[in-house]
Structure 1
Amino acid sequence: MTITQLQYVLAVAEYKNFTLAAEKSFVTQPTLSMQVQKLEDELGVLIFDRSKKPISITAVGEKIVNQAKNIVAEAERIKDIVDQDKGFIGGDYTLGIIPTVMPTLLPMFLNTFIKKYPKVNLIIKEQSTDAMIRNILDGHLDAGIAATPLEIEFIKERPLYYEPFVGYVPQSHRLSQEPMLTTEDLDVNDVLLLQDGHCFRDGVINLCKASKNVQGEMFKIESGSFETLVSLADEGMGMTLLPYLNSLHLDPKKRPNIRPFKNPSPAREISLIYHKSELKIQITDALKDVISGIVRGAIAFQDVKIVSPLAQK
C-alpha cells in the first residue's frame, strides 16, 4: 500500500470516473486503474463497484476512503513539519473567498502578500460558504475567508476583522432625514436583499427579525450584487444595507445616502477558516497577519454587535 495508491483512490471516489480521476491526477488512465486494482487485490476487497455508471463506492470502500483521507493528510503534514523547521513559507495555497468579501478585500491585501511572500503560489477562488466548507473537507481548499461563526466541528475559525453594516438610504426614503440608524428603524418590507445563498443576506434577515418589524410577505426584490441593490434603492424601491468596506467604493455622489448605525453597530465577523488538521499553517498564519494588519487601519469602528450569518429558523 502506498500514499500514491490512496491518492488515486480518493480521486476516483471524488470524480466517480477513472478517466477523469486520472486526468486530475496527471497520470494515464491505465496507470491509475492498475494501481487502484493492485490496492484492491492487496486488501482482498472491492473499493469501487465498476458495474454501475457513474462508479459507486462499496460499503467497505466508504470506510477505506475516509481512512485514506486521514492518511494522505497526515503524510502531507510531514512536509509541513520540515517547511516550518526551515522557516520556509512557499508552495501552492488555495484560498476561497465569499462573493460579498472578494471585491473589497482582495485588492486591499493581494499585492502586499505576494510581494512579502513571493514563494507562495496563491490560488484564489470565489465560492459560497457551503461550497467552501465542502472543499476544505475534501482537501481542495487550504483555507477560506467567510462570515462567521459557523460552528462546524472540523473547521477552525480565526477572526480577521469585524465589518459594520451601514444603511443606504435614498433621499426619498422615510429615514433620509435620520443622521444615524438603529436596528429598530428597519422595516423588513422595504429592505432590499441579496439573492438567497449569500451569508450577508442571512445576517440582514436575522437583524430585521431582531427588530421585530416583520409584517406580511417579505423580500419581494432581491439581487445578486450590492451595485444593483443601490440602483434599485435610487429608483425608490426601498433601502438596503451594505458592508462598510463596500460603501467606500460608492460613487461620491451617492455617499451622502450612507447612514451609519448608532453604537453598538451591527456587524459581521470575517474570519479565516481552515481544517483542524492545520496543514500549511505557516502560510495561513502569514495570510492572517497581512490581512488583519491592512484591514485594521481601514475600519475605524470599534463598538460593534456581531450579526450571525446563520439563519435563525
Structure 2
Amino acid sequence: MTITQLHYVLAVAEYKNFTLAAEKCFVTQPTLSMQIQKLEEELDVQIFDRGKKPIQLTDVGQQIVTQARSIVNESNRIKDIVDQQKGYIGGDFKIGIIPTVMPTLLPMFITNFTNKYPKVNLIIEERTTEEIIKMLKSGQLDAAIAATPLSEESIKEVVLYYEPFVAYIPENNPAFGKKEFSVKDLEDNLNNILLLQDGHCFRNNVLNICKAASLPQHNRFHLESGSFETMVKLADEGLGMTLLPYLHTLDMSEKAKSKLRHFTEPRPSREVSLIYSKKELKLHLIDALRTTITGVVRGAIAFHNVEITSPLHK
C-alpha cells in the first residue's frame, strides 16, 4: 500500500470518474486504474462499484476513503513541518470563503497577497458555512473565511473584522423617510423584508437580530435567491426592503447609496473570521493571509460601536 495509491483512490472518490481522476492526478487512466486495482487485490475488497454510473463507493470503500484521507493529510504535514521550521511561505494553500463574503472581500486582498507571496498557490473555493466546517475537519481545506462565532470545538477562529448591516429602503417604501434605522423598525417590518434563501448564514444573522424563527410568507410570491443584487432590484420594484453587508454597499452608485440607512448604535453586525482546524500546521501561511486582509479592510470599515449577531440560527 502506498500514499500514491491512496491519492488515486481519493481522486476517484471525489470525481466519480477514472478518466477525470487521472487527469487531476496528472497520470494516464490505465496507470491510475492499475494502481487502484493493485490496492484492491492487496486488501481483497472492492473499493468502487464500477457497475454504477457515476462510479460509487462500496460500503467498505466508504470506510477506506475516510481513513485514506486522514493518512494523506497526515503525510502532507511532514512537508508543512519543514516549511514552518524554515519560514518558507509557498506551496498550495486551500481556502474556502462563504458566498456573502467572497464577492466583496476577495477583490480587496487577492492582488496584494499574490504579489507579496508569489510562491503561494492560493486555491479558493466558494462554500457554505456547513461545507466549510466539514472540509476543515476532513483536511480538504487549510483555512476559510466565514461569519462567526461557530462554536466548533475543533476549529480556531481569528477575527478579521466586524461588518455592520445596512438597510436598503427604496423611495416608495414608508420607511424611506427615516434618517437612521433601528432594530425595532426592522422587527416592525418583518413582512416587508427580502432576504437570501435558506442555508445562508447571512439570513440567520438577520433573523437573530429580529429574534425571529422565520419571516412571514410573502403574500404575493415565494423567493429563493442567493444574490444581493436580486434583492436590491426587487426592492426597487416596490416588493420590500432588504439588508446588505456594509462592504457590499461601497461600490454602489450614488443613487443607490441614497437609499441606504445605517442602524442606530450599537449597530447590528456580523463577525468575519479566518478559521482553521486546531490541528493545522500551515500557521505561517494563515498568519500571512490574516495580516494581508486586516491591512486592506482596516481602512474600509470605521465602525466601532457594534453588536455582534450569531450566524447560527437560534
* Aligned twin of 2:98: 98
Aligned runs of 1:114-193 on 2, under 5 Å?
A: 114-137=114-137, 139-152=139-152, 154-186=154-186, 187-193=189-195
1:251 to 241, 253, 270: 253
1:267 to 259, 264, 269: 269
The CA deviation at 1:18 is 2.7
1:242 to 241, 244, 251: 244
Q: Which moved more, 1:195-204 or 1:27-36?
A: 195-204
Counterpart-to-counterpart distance in 1, 2:59 and 2:226: 41
Return closer, same or farther for 1:52/1:216 CA change in 2, 3 Å cut-off.
closer
Counterpart-to-counterpart distance in 1, 2:255 and 2:65: 57
Counterpart-to-counterpart distance in 2, 1:57 and 1:104: 38
Return closer, same or farther for 1:215/1:14 CA change in 2, 3 Å cut-off.
closer
* Aligned twin of 2:68: 68
Return closer, same or farther for 1:42/1:251 CA change in 2, 3 Å cut-off.
same
Confirm or deny: 8 A CA contact 1:181 1:260 kept in the other structure. yes
* Aligned twin of 2:79: 79
What runs of 5+ residues in structure 1 fail to find an aligned partner?
none
The CA deviation at 1:217 is 5.0
Give secondary structure in 2 for the equivalent of 1:176. Answer: helix
Corresponding letter in the other structure for 2:172: S
Counterpart-to-counterpart distance in 2, 1:35 and 1:12: 12
State percent identity of aligned pairs: 63
Normalized against structure 2, the TM-score is what?
A: 0.87
Confirm or deny: 8 A CA contact 1:112 1:290 kept in the other structure. yes
Return closer, same or farther for 1:16/1:221 CA change in 2, 3 Å cut-off.
closer
Confirm or deny: 8 A CA contact 1:208 1:214 kept in the other structure. no
Indicate yes or no: 2:292 matched with 1:294.
Answer: no
Alignment length, in residue pairs? 311
Counterpart-to-counterpart distance in 2, 1:257 and 1:301: 19
Return closer, same or farther for 1:122/1:76 CA change in 2, 3 Å cut-off.
same
Corresponding letter in the other structure for 1:196: D
The CA deviation at 1:78 is 0.6
What CA deviation, in whole Å up to 9, does each residue of 1:5-46 have, x standing for no partner? Answer: 111122223233333322222212221222222223333443
Q: Which moved more, 1:276-285 or 1:110-119?
A: 276-285
The CA deviation at 1:263 is 1.8
* Aligned twin of 2:286: 284
Normalized against structure 1, the TM-score is what?
A: 0.87
- Taking only aligned residues, the RMSD between alpha carbons, in angstroms, comes to 2.6
Confirm or deny: 8 A CA contact 1:92 1:120 kept in the other structure. yes
Give secondary structure in 1 for the equivalent of 2:174. Answer: coil
Counterpart-to-counterpart distance in 2, 1:301 and 1:21: 47
Confirm or deny: 8 A CA contact 2:70 2:139 kept in the other structure. no
Counterpart-to-counterpart distance in 2, 1:18 and 1:271: 37
Confirm or deny: 8 A CA contact 1:184 1:213 kept in the other structure. no
2:310 to 291, 308, 311: 308
The CA deviation at 1:174 is 2.4
Counterpart-to-counterpart distance in 2, 1:18 and 1:170: 53
Return closer, same or farther for 1:226/1:14 CA change in 2, 3 Å cut-off.
closer
Counterpart-to-counterpart distance in 2, 1:262 and 1:254: 20
1:229 to 227, 231, 237: 231
Confirm or deny: 8 A CA contact 1:76 1:279 kept in the other structure. no
* Aligned twin of 2:20: 20
Give secondary structure in 2 for the equivalent of 1:147. Answer: strand
2:209 to 207, 210, 216: 207
